[in-house]
Amino acid sequence: MGAPRPLPRLDADNRPFWTGGAEGQLRITRCQDCKTFIHPPRPVCRKCLSENVVPEAVAGTGVVDTFTVNYQKWHPALDVPFVIARVAIDGAPGVFLTTNIVGCPVDQVDVGDRVRVKFEQQGDVWLPLFEKVG
Amino acid sequence: MANEAYITGVGQSQVGVKLTRAPLLLTLDAVREALSEAGLSIGQIDGVSTYPGRTAALLGFSPVGADELIDALGIRATWYAGGGEITSQLGAVVAAAAAVRAGLARHVICFRTVYEAAALARPEEYPTQRRDRVDSFSQWFAPFNALSAATWTAQYAMRHVKRYGLKREQLAQIALTDRANAALNPRALVREPLTMEEYLSVRMISTPLCLYDCDRFTDASTVLIVSAGAAVDEVSCTPIRIAAMAGTVERHSWDQAEWMACYPTGADLWKRTDYKPADVDTAQLYDGFSFQAIAWLESLGFCGLGEGGQFIEGGKRIARDGELPLNTFGGQIGAGRLHGFGFAHESVVQLRGKGGARQIPGDPRVAVCTSGGGPLATALLLARD
């Protein structure tokens, strides 16, 4: 679909997140001591400062917290309109992902919609997009 | 008095798009105007503070650094600072105020120079560094084509639409007020007033924000001189006291924080002063996107959370002759994307009664000005004693 997306530069901190889709997993880093989820991923827990943190697979579902329908062509090759949303991730309290809601008309997205991850591979990166459930 | 910090001279260059005058010289224009107003010479300046420093990878965003200005104008600085890792644009003024109160400098030039329109028009002179991949902050937004702060701010605005019933006709009052005020500001970028009909019929950028909810690239420089209380008798203009300052960063992120940083910042401001929101004669609130001004009105306690739309409904309350005149110079939507510093500049202008055709009535003594949206926020309370 449309122009290639800007892709993240993979590094030690972000690689599990951006490549989890290869195994169909949405991975969020979690403190193994106090169980807090840490996103963006970093090698320390922002709640208890433990360094015992590892990426964990979560269910891959969530709820649309808020969204916008983007109409502006920020560059000429961009296909518009499309939906940008902030999704609250099930099972990872306090973690939100900015993403796109795909697979439905832009006027069919609303706050509170239940969504499920749908990975889009581009090169060495698996982008966690979301689509509506049911 | 001796331990206070004051804004003394203020200045501004011409404001336009695709200007050809070099950004260092625009900065010089604003410096000259500020020095002239304050009755200071460049030799009395011993500090420089700017946001966000020279951004080499994106030169139009900030083409002039503090160290460049120091060297170019022959300033002997005993203190200076310039960087983006601070609580937004007016954080540069907070830093300067802290410096003069600590005795590190007496008169500090604070400046913000923007050259985004010129750089876009002449990329060969003001290049943007090409990147094959995105990292740090951008990686969480750019891969989803959330390529502009418009799309990030729009999501906060949409939450107000869905949770609190914010209506387009209410949101429109920021742009309508800005444009009505800009029509009376000779330096404003956009001098034509805007009608509700025009607002409602223009194209969407990112729902619920339309074209007129967004500022646009501007070329300009704005200067504020921050002076120490111990040195304020050297100044010939009416000094404006910085009565309180606040700035907050908790999560430097546009999506992990529940609320924009303006909310805790507004609450903190009132903990540091005996003034109350009811004492404020004019509010100059960041509006790079219109919704940010609504969030600031709520944050500063002029109305409750979620009540901002109702508060500005009809526009009378925030008009120049209303109970809380807002963005009397035109805000960034009308006056141009001066990037935060325009709000402090106008606060000083109004408190000195120098607003000309746009001067608010009465005898304004207290103004609040802010900068920042999303994860960064700064608020200054200014008073004429």
Contact B142 A98 (CB under 8 A): no
Domain that holds residue B89: 5-127+217-240
Cα–Cα dist A96/B143, whole Å: 15
Q: Which residue of A has its CA nearest to B147?
A: A74
B36 CB within 8 Å of a chain A CB: no
CATH of the domain at B266: 3.40.47.10
Mark whether B115 and B249 lie in a shared domain: no
Please name the residues in contact with B22: beta carbons below 8 A apart, sequence gap of 6 or more.
none
Per-position pLDDT tens, chain B of length 385: 679 999 999 999 999 999 999 999 999 999 999 999 999 999 999 999 999 999 999 999 999 999 999 999 999 999 999 999 999 999 999 999 999 999 999 999 999 999 999 999 999 999 888 888 998 889 999 999 999 999 999 999 999 999 999 999 999 999 999 999 999 999 999 999 999 999 999 999 999 999 999 999 999 999 999 999 999 999 999 999 999 999 988 898 999 998 999 999 999 999 999 999 999 999 999 999 999 999 999 999 999 999 999 999 999 999 999 999 999 999 999 999 999 999 999 999 999 999 999 999 999 999 999 999 899 999 999 999 9
- With respect to residue A70, please indicate whether it lies within any of the assigned structural domains: yes
- The answer to the question of residue A54 being in a domain is yes
The 8-class DSSP code of residue B360 comes to P
Residues B177 and B282 reside in one and the same domain: yes
Pair B44, B34: CB distance under 8 Å: no
Cross-chain residue pair A98–B140, CB shorter than 8 Å: yes
Say whether both B251 and B103 belong to one domain.
no
| B143 inside domain | no
Kindly report the number of other CB atoms within 10 A of residue B271's CB atom.
8
A75 has a chain B CB within 8 A of its CB: yes
Q: Is B32 exposed, middle or buried (0-12, 13-18, 19+ CB in 10 A)?
A: middle
Burial class (CB in 10 A: 0-12, 13-18, 19+), B160: buried
C-alpha span between B239 and B8 (Å, rounded): 5
B162 at the A interface (CB within 8 A)?
yes
Q: Please tell me the distance from the alpha carbon of residue B335 to that of residue B331, in angstroms, as a whole number.
A: 6
Quick check: A67 contacting B, CB < 8 Å? yes
- Determine, yes or no, domain membership for A8: no
Q: Are residues B267 and B336 in the same domain?
A: yes
Rounded to a whole number of angstroms, the distance from the CA of A27 to the nearest CA of chain B is 14
Taking CB atoms and an 8 Å limit, are B139 and A39 in contact across chains?
Answer: no
Same domain (yes/no): B39, B152: no
Handedness of CA B288, B289, B292, B294 (dihedral sign): positive
Task: With respect to residue B201, please indicate whether it lies within any of the assigned structural domains.
Answer: yes
Q: ipTM greater than 0.95, yes or no?
A: yes
In a domain, B293, yes or no: yes
Number of domains in chain A: 1
Mutate which: B128, B129, B139, B164, vs A, most A CBs within 10 A: B139
Say if residue B63 is in the same domain as residue B99: yes
Residues B66 and B103 in one domain: yes
* Residue B113 backbone phi and psi in degrees, to 5: -115, 130
Nearest to B206 among A71, A78, A97 (CB): A71
Q: Would the pLDDT of A1 be above 60? A: no
- Is the residue at B294 inside a domain? yes
B272 and B182 in one domain? yes
B138 min Cα distance to partner chain A (Å): 8
Question: Domain check: are B110 and B174 in the same one?
Answer: no
Of B194, B142, B214, which Cα lies nearest the Cα of B373? B214
* CB neighbour burial string for B279-289, b if at least 16 within 10 angstroms, e if fewer: ebbbbbbbbbb
User: Is A79 within a domain?
Assistant: yes
Put simply, whether B161 touches A (Cβ < 8 Å) is: no
The total number of structural domains in chain B stands at: 2
> How far is it, in rounded angstroms, from Cα B15 to Cα B330?
13
Residue B137 lies in a domain: no
Residues B197 and B262 in one domain: yes
Q: What residue numbers bound the domain in which A39 lies?
A: 15-132
Contact (CB<8Å) A68/B142: no
- Alpha carbons B228 and B100: distance in angstroms, whole number: 5
B129 CB within 8 Å of a chain A CB: no
Interface residue of B159, B206, B260, B291 to substitute, partner A, most A CBs within 10 Å:
B206
Instruction: Decide: B292 and B153 in contact? Cβ < 8 Å.
Output: yes
| Angle, CA B154 vertex, CA B169 and CA A38 arms, to 5° | 145
B346 assigned to some structural domain: yes
Size of interface A-B (CB pairs under 8 A): 104
Q: Does A134 touch chain B (CB under 8 A)?
A: no
Q: In this structure, are B120 and B183 located in the same domain?
A: no
The alpha-carbon gap from A16 to the nearest alpha carbon of chain B, in Å, equals: 14
| Lookup: tokens for B222 | 């704005």
Name the one residue in this structure whose structure tokens are 């330096």: B187
Bridge-based pairing of strands A125-132 and A96-102 is parallel
Tell whether A2 is covered by a domain.
no
Number of neighbours of residue B370 by Cβ within 10 angstroms: 33
Residues B377 and B230 in one domain: no
- Residue A1 within a domain: no
Q: How many residues are given for chain A?
A: 134
Q: Confirm whether B134 is domain-assigned.
A: no
